[in-house]
A and B are shown apart, each in its own frame.
Chain A
Amino acid sequence: MQVNNVEIEDTFAEAFSMQAARLTVTAGSEKWARHAALAATGFATSVIGCGVEAGIEGPAPNTPDGRPGLDCLFFGMSRDSLEQHLLNRIGQAIMTAPTSACFDGGLPECSNPGTLKIGGKIRYFGDGYQASKIINGRRYWRIPVMEGEFLIHEAFEVSEAVGGGNFLILAETADAALGAAEAAVEAMSAVRGVILPFPGGIVRSGSQVGSQYSFLKASTNIAFCPTLRGRVQKTVLPRGVNSVLEIVIDGLTAEKIGEATRVGILAACVPGVVRITAGNYGGRLGKYHFHLRRLLG
C-alpha cells in the first residue's frame, strides 16, 4: 500500500491497557491555565521513567466556572499509581498556580468509569480549615491558600484506556522526518480523547526492550538507528532512509487511537518520507493491535 508515494508497511502497533483520567484546569486567564496545565503534564512522557503519561488534550469546551480552561489527560499503569501521581501533580503544579481551579473533566467516551477521591485527599492541605460545598450533586472542596482559595472537585472519573499506540516515520533526511512528524502532530491535535505524551508529540529516541547491559530494561532501538545500519544485522532500514521519528499515542478508547493514527499517518505522507511502520512485540503482549493498512482503508 502506498499513500502519496510513501509505503505503508503491512504491520501493526501493539498497545496496552492503562488507567486514565481527565482534568479540566481553569484559571483567571488562558495564560495561567496553560502555566498550570504545562506544569502538571510536564515530565510525563513514559510510565517507565516518569510514572505517568500526560498531555494537554486541548481547550476545555465547557468549564464549570466559566473561566478559560484546558483539558488534560493522564495515563497510569494502575488506579493506585494514577491516583498517587494525580495527587502529586495537582498538589504541586496546579494548586500552586495563581487563580487556578481543578475540575473533573469527565470521561463520557468510556463506559462505566470509576472514581478516584482526589480532591477529597488534596483537601487536607487546608489543615482543617477547608470547607466543602455540594452543587448539583457534586461535592467541591474549597481549600484556603495564601492567594485566596483553591477549588477542586472531590472525585474524578477514572477508566480503563489505551496506551502505546504508535507509528514510525522513516525519511530521507532528519529535516524531512521532522517536517512530516510535525504535520502529523498538528493533524492529530484535532482528535479529542488522545494525547501524544512525548515532547512536541514526537519521539526521537525510540527504544527496544532489553539491553546488552543487565542493568537496563530498555535501550536505543538499534534496528531503526541509521548510524548503525552497516553494523547491525537486524536493521530494518531500507535504502534511502537516514532518519526515523516515532509518534506515541495514548487514548481513552481504541477507536480514538485508531482515528488519531489514521489522520497522523495521512498527514505524514509527504515528499521525503520513504515508509511508515509501527512497533509491536509480535502481538503477544498488548491487548490492542492497530493494523496500519486497515486503519487507512
Chain B
Amino acid sequence: MNTQIRLTLRTAPDLPVEAEALNPENVTGKNRAEIESLPLLVGNRRERVGDHFEVDVIEDTSTEPAHDEDSLAALLLVGDLTRFKRLGERMTAGRMVVDGPVGFHAGAHMSGGSLTLLGDAGDYLGAHIRGGKIEVRGSAGHFAGGAYRGYTHGMNGGTIIIHGNAGQMAGARMRRGLVAVRGCCGDGPGFGMKAGTVLVGGLSGVRAGAIMSRGTVILLTPPPGLLPTFLYNCTYRPPIWPLLLAAMAGTDFLLPGIGPDAMFDSYCGDLTEGGRGEILIYRSGT
C-alpha cells in the first residue's frame, strides 16, 4: 500500500517526550482515532499522540505499485521535535520521514526500513542499529551509530548517512555497517571499532580509531595527527573504495573531486589492540 500517515506537531512540549511508539509498524492499518490514541510519555505523564499532533491519514488511490519495502504505511512527522526521543526506535521495515529536528536515540536498535531526518538529530542517532538506513540532512550529536555505556559492541549493520556534522564518538564500538559523515566530526570517530566503516568528509577530532581492533576509518580531510599507535603502511588505491562509493550512490553524499580512483595513505592500528584496524586518509591532488 502507499498510504501516508502525516503527524504535524501543534506546539513543541516543554518536557522531554519518549516517543518510541512512533514508527511505521505501529501506525500501519490504524485509522486516525487509533493513531491519535498511541501513547507518549511526556515527562512522567502518559499522554496521547492526538494531544500533541494533528493526524492525517492519506490513502493512496493511485494504481502505482507499492514500493517493495512498503507493505507498511509511510510515516511523516512535521515540526520541531527536538524534545522527542526514540523516534523510529526498533523499526524493522517501512519508511519514516521527519521534517524537523529530533532528539536523542532516533532510529536506535533499527533493523530495517528507512528513516530520513530532514533536520538535525540528537545524540545516539542509530545506536545499536542492525539494519536499514538512516539519513540525516542536518547534523547529528554525539555517539552517532555508537554504543550505549557498558556495551562492548554497538551497531551491527545498516547504514547511517549524515550530510552535516557529527559529534564525538561516531561509530563507537561498531562491529558492522557504515557511518558516513559529510561534514566534520568530533573526537574519537571509530572508537573501539571491531569492524565496519566510519567515513568522515570534513575535519575530524583527535584520537580517530582509538583502541579499534578491526574495521576502517576513512578520513577525506587529513587530521592534525593520529595516535602514535597507528603506523603508516603505504599509499595506494584501496579496491574497496569504489564499492563504498557505490553503496552511497543516490544519497548525494559524494564529495566533489573524490572519485573511485582516489589514493589514500593507509595506517594500521590501534597497535594496543593488535593493529588489524586501518585508517585511510585521502591524499588530495591524486
Interchain CA distance A130-B278 in the complex, whole Å = 12
Interchain CA distance A67-B260 in the complex, whole Å = 9
Q: A66 an interface residue at 8 Å Cβ cutoff?
A: yes
* B187–chain A nearest beta-carbon distance, Å: 25
Interface segment, one of A8-16, A115-123, A132-140, A196-204: A132-140
Q: Do A134 and B239 contact each other (CB < 8 Å), given the known contacts A65-B260, A66-B246, A66-B260?
A: no
- Interface size of A by CB at 8 A reads 17
Q: Do A101 and B239 contact each other (CB < 8 Å), given the known contacts A66-B260, A131-B214, A133-B197?
A: yes
User: Which chain B positions have C-beta within 8 A of A65?
Assistant: 239, 242-243, 246, 260
State which of A133, A136, A149 has its C-beta within 8 Å of the C-beta of B236: A149
User: Which chain A positions have C-beta within 8 A of B243?
Assistant: 64-65, 133, 135, 140, 151
Q: B114 an interface residue at 8 Å Cβ cutoff?
A: no
Interchain CA distance A66-B260 in the complex, whole Å = 8
Q: Do A66 and B242 contact each other (CB < 8 Å), given the known contacts A131-B214, A131-B276, A135-B247?
A: yes
- Residue from the set B176, B239, B246 with the largest chain A CB neighbour count within 10 Å: B239
Kindly supply a per-residue 1/0 record for chain A positions 131-159, scoring 1 wherever the CB is within 8 Å of any chain B CB and 0 otherwise. 11111100010100000111100000000
State which of A132, A136, A151 has its C-beta within 8 Å of the C-beta of B239: A151
Interchain CA distance A182-B214 in the complex, whole Å = 53
Closest chain A residue, CB of each to CB of B237: A148
Q: Are B176 and A149 within 8 A (Cβ)?
A: no
Interface residues on B, range: 20 to 34
- Main secondary structure on chain A at its contact with chain B? strand
Q: Are B240 and A133 within 8 A (Cβ)?
A: yes
Closest chain A residue, CB of each to CB of B157: A134
State which of B216, B240, B247, B278 has its C-beta within 8 Å of the C-beta of A136: B247
Closest chain B residue, CB of each to CB of A149: B239
- Residue from the set B176, B178, B216, B240 with the largest chain A CB neighbour count within 10 Å: B240
Interchain CA distance A131-B197 in the complex, whole Å = 12
Inter-chain contact total with CB atoms closer than 8 Å: 50
User: Which chain A positions have C-beta within 8 A of B176?
Assistant: 134
Q: B58 an interface residue at 8 Å Cβ cutoff?
A: no
Closest chain B residue, CB of each to CB of A150: B239
User: Which chain B positions have C-beta within 8 A of A136?
Assistant: 247
B residues 189-245 with Cβ under 8 Å of A?
195-197, 214, 216, 234, 236-240, 242-244
State which of B216, B234, B240, B242 has its C-beta within 8 Å of the C-beta of A67: B242
Q: Are A133 and B247 within 8 A (Cβ)?
A: no
Interchain CA distance A67-B242 in the complex, whole Å = 9
Q: Are B242 and A142 within 8 A (Cβ)?
A: no
* B164–chain A nearest beta-carbon distance, Å: 24
Interchain CA distance A150-B236 in the complex, whole Å = 12
Interchain CA distance A135-B159 in the complex, whole Å = 10
* B30–chain A nearest beta-carbon distance, Å: 31
User: Which chain B positions have C-beta within 8 A of A64?
Assistant: 242-243, 246
Q: Are A142 and B239 within 8 A (Cβ)?
A: yes
User: Which chain A positions have C-beta within 8 A of B238?
Assistant: 142, 149
User: Which chain B positions have C-beta within 8 A of A148?
Assistant: 234, 236-237, 239
* A133–chain B nearest beta-carbon distance, Å: 5
Kindly supply a per-residue 1/0 record for chain B positions 123-162, scoring 1 wherever the CB is within 8 Å of any chain A CB and 0 otherwise. 0000000000000000000000000000000000100000
Between-chain CB contacts (< 8 Å), 23 pairs? A64-B242, A65-B242, A65-B243, A66-B260, A67-B242, A131-B214, A131-B276, A132-B195, A134-B176, A134-B177, A135-B178, A135-B240, A135-B247, A140-B240, A140-B243, A142-B239, A148-B237, A149-B236, A149-B239, A149-B240, A150-B239, A151-B239, A151-B243
| Closest 9 A/B residue pairs (Cβ) | A151-B239, A65-B242, A148-B236, A135-B247, A66-B242, A135-B243, A66-B260, A149-B239, A133-B240
12 new A-B contacts at CB < 8 Å, known A140-B243, A149-B239: A66-B242, A101-B239, A131-B276, A131-B278, A133-B197, A134-B157, A134-B176, A134-B195, A142-B240, A148-B236, A149-B240, A150-B239
